[in-house]
């Protein structure tokens, strides 16, 4: 069936030939049929990637969300094997009441296991747990020639490392086996600390290494002595308490897309000031993990607030030796532009070897924020930020990207040379069309 599909950034719909297997067993024949009909194919989960990495304009899209069965769960060891279309939200329903939780989670639970692998998602605990791929024990990869390859760190290891963070380009991930972490409660012990300048973030992060989870919200419009002011949050799983997968309470929703973006300079300044000064900005206590890990999931279709033109997300990481200076410069440029986001995340990554060839996390500090799409003005600002990131020796996150220059990608991901050997020839994405002609460092020399 031919359908227009958007990514989470709502930058525009593109036409695809779409197939949605009802079960994992249906995936192989539908994959073959899509390749024959459309010439290329890409897996697509719950559509929470912001840019064009989950899109394959004019080609085939195999939607995996119904491939969601759990096949094995050892409640003694925390090893779980499930179809790649199982979401973290549904996984929690299975595992949390039994005292197990994912070892690494991104900022939304509406992501499939296959999507978590393909983007090698990271969370608030990278400094102690690495990325999602570090906890994948094995996966089943369907290639376009029909073969199903059993990949693991000790079996087809090269293809395994290429698939972790490989943006879905090495084939269709049919099933995933992961190691969960034991928890005694679904509650978190949380501390929120208000800070008045970005310098203080780095101090708080250094003081919080014994906390497994840490992250900061930043007021991206603050300037001068208050540049980068924000709220630092750190947390750990409670040592005792209930094990409830979903908290009580109703969910909010944005019912429709407004005719113009609700995110503008005036609304941003008002929101950021109110959020920074709210009573909960300083807090010590307990909360359900859902509020700590997934605050935005409490508002369904929150991406609609950016209006019909959508938005870009910009996420970079810069090395620790220059992180303080580079992040300060990035925030100063964003504040001076007068545009930005109420959803700004600042956190540190640990010095942990990447799980995959194209894994985004590296030792350093990562900054992520959303920009309403204002056309050339927004593109010019991000190009300006690119120069700071490149000069610092950093890189951007492909899962969030819709406009990264190919040379910045090549410079930030030198292992792309090795990765290209593992791409399935029938798999393609709009992101990769932009990147595949990027010269490598050796080719540039």
CA–CA gap between residue 350 and residue 358 (Å, rounded)? 17
| Segment 284-293 mean pLDDT | 96
**pLDDT in the model for residue 248:** 79
Instruction: Give the residue from 231, 223, 265, 253 showing the smallest Cα distance to 345.
Output: 231
User: Tokens standing for 123?
Assistant: 């969370």
Do 412 and 396 contact (CB within 8 A), yes or no?
yes
Strands of 57-135 (E only): list them.
60-63, 70-74, 79-83, 100-102
pLDDT of residue 443 exceeding 70, the answer is no
Provide the 3-class DSSP secondary structure of residue 54.
coil
**Residue 155, beta-bridge partner list:** 152
pLDDT band per the 50, 70, 90 thresholds, residue 444: very low
Task: Return the higher-pLDDT residue of 339 and 211.
Answer: 211
Other Cβ atoms less than 10 A from the Cβ of 396: the count is 25
Tokens 């700590």, residue? 292
pLDDT of residue 438 exceeding 70, the answer is no
Burial 318-329 (b: 16+ CB within 10 A, else e): bbeebbeebbbb
pLDDT band per the 50, 70, 90 thresholds, residue 442: very low
Other Cβ atoms less than 10 A from the Cβ of 293: the count is 22
Provide the 3-class DSSP secondary structure of residue 301.
coil
Instruction: Give the residue from 347, 247, 303 showing the smallest Cα distance to 48.
Output: 303
In angstroms and rounded to an integer, the radius of gyration of the C-alpha atoms of the chain is 21
CA–CA gap between residue 342 and residue 329 (Å, rounded)? 19
User: Tokens standing for 160?
Assistant: 């395994």
Do 101 and 73 contact (CB within 8 A), yes or no?
no
Model confidence, pTM: 0.96
Other Cβ atoms less than 10 A from the Cβ of 435: the count is 22
Burial 174-208 (b: 16+ CB within 10 A, else e): bbbbbebbebebbbbbbbbbebebbebbbebbeeb
What value does the mean pLDDT of the chain take? 95
pLDDT of residue 418 exceeding 60, the answer is yes
Other Cβ atoms less than 10 A from the Cβ of 49: the count is 29
Comparing 167-171, 176-180, 254-258, the range with the smallest average pLDDT is 254-258
Q: Are strands 364-372 and 299-300 parallel, antiparallel or unpaired?
A: unpaired
User: Tokens standing for 168?
Assistant: 């879905």
Provide the 3-class DSSP secondary structure of residue 385.
helix
Q: Are strands 172-182 and 187-195 parallel, antiparallel or unpaired?
A: unpaired
Task: Return the higher-pLDDT residue of 437 and 9.
Answer: 9
pLDDT digits (tens, 9 = 90+) for 78-135: 999 999 999 999 999 999 999 999 999 999 999 999 999 999 999 999 999 999 999 9
Other Cβ atoms less than 10 A from the Cβ of 220: the count is 26
| Segment 234-242 mean pLDDT | 97
Which stretch of DSSP H or E encloses residue 35?
helix 27-38
Comparing 76-90, 260-274, 313-327, the range with the smallest average pLDDT is 260-274
pLDDT digits (tens, 9 = 90+) for 331-356: 999 999 988 888 899 999 999 999 99
CA–CA gap between residue 192 and residue 179 (Å, rounded)? 29
**pLDDT in the model for residue 197:** 97
**pLDDT in the model for residue 290:** 96
Do 397 and 107 contact (CB within 8 A), yes or no?
no
Other Cβ atoms less than 10 A from the Cβ of 227: the count is 19
**Residue 288, beta-bridge partner list:** 187
| Segment 138-160 mean pLDDT | 98
**pLDDT in the model for residue 251:** 80
Tokens 């759990």, residue? 70
CA–CA gap between residue 115 and residue 64 (Å, rounded)? 10
Phi/psi of residue 399, each to 5°?
-65, -20
Other Cβ atoms less than 10 A from the Cβ of 163: the count is 30
**pLDDT in the model for residue 19:** 97
pLDDT of residue 226 exceeding 80, the answer is yes
Q: Could you tell me where the DSSP H helices lie in 157-229?
A: 157-163, 198-207
| Segment 5-29 mean pLDDT | 95
Percent of the chain residues past pLDDT 70, beyond the cut: 98
pLDDT digits (tens, 9 = 90+) for 348-388: 999 999 999 999 999 999 999 999 999 999 999 999 999 99
| Segment 177-182 mean pLDDT | 98
pLDDT digits (tens, 9 = 90+) for 53-76: 999 999 999 999 999 999 999 999
Do 400 and 366 contact (CB within 8 A), yes or no?
no
């Amino acid at each position: 069936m031919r359908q227009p599909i958007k990514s989470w950034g709502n930058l525009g719909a593109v036409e695809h030939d779409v197939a949605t297997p009802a079960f994992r067993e249906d995936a192989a024949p539908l994959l073959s049929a899509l390749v024959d009909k459309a010439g290329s194919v890409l897996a697509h989960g719950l559509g929470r990637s912001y840019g064009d990495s989950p899109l394959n304009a004019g080609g085939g899209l195999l939607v995996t969300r119904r491939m969601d069965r759990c096949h094995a769960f050892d409640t003694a060891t925390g090893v779980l094997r499930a179809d790649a279309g199982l979401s973290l939200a549904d996984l929690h329903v299975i595992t949390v009441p039994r005292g197990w939780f994912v070892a690494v989670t991104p900022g939304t639970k509406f992501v499939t296991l296959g999507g978590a692998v393909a983007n090698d998602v990271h969370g608030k605990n990278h400094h102690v747990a690495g990325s999602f791929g570090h906890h994948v024990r094995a996966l089943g990869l369907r290639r376009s020639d029909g073969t199903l390859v059993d990949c693991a760190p000790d079996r087809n290891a090269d293809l395994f490392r290429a698939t972790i963070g490989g943006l879905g380009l090495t084939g269709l991930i049919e099933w995933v086996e992961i190691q969960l972490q034991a928890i005694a409660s679904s509650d978190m012990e949380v501390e929120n600390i208000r800070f008045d300048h970005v310098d203080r973030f780095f101090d708080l992060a250094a003081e919080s290494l014994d906390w497994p989870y840490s992250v900061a919200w930043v007021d991206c419009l603050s300037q001068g002595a208050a540049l980068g002011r924000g709220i630092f949050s750190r947390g750990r799983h409670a040592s005792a308490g209930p094990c409830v997968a979903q908290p009580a309470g109703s969910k909010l929703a944005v019912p429709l897309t407004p005719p113009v973006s609700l995110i503008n300079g005036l609304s941003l300044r008002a929101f950021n000031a109110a959020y920074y000064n709210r009573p909960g900005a300083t807090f010590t206590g307990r909360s359900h993990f859902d509020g700590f890990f997934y605050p935005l999931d409490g508002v369904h279709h929150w991406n609609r607030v950016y209006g019909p033109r959508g938005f870009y997300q910009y996420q970079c990481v810069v090395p620790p030796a220059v992180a303080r200076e580079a992040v300060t410069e990035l925030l100063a440029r964003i504040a001076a532009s007068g545009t930005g986001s109420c959803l700004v995340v600042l956190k540190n990554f640990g010095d942990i070897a990447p799980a995959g060839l194209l894994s985004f996390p590296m030792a350093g500090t990562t900054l992520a924020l959303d920009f309403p799409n204002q056309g050339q003005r927004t593109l010019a600002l991000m190009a300006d930020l690119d120069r700071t990131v490149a000069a610092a020796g950093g890189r951007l996150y492909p899962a969030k990207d819709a406009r990264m220059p190919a040379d910045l990608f090549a410079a930030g991901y030198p292992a792309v040379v090795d990765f290209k050997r593992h791409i399935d020839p029938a798999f393609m994405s709009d992101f990769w069309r932009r990147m595949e002609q990027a010269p490598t460092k050796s080719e540039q020399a």
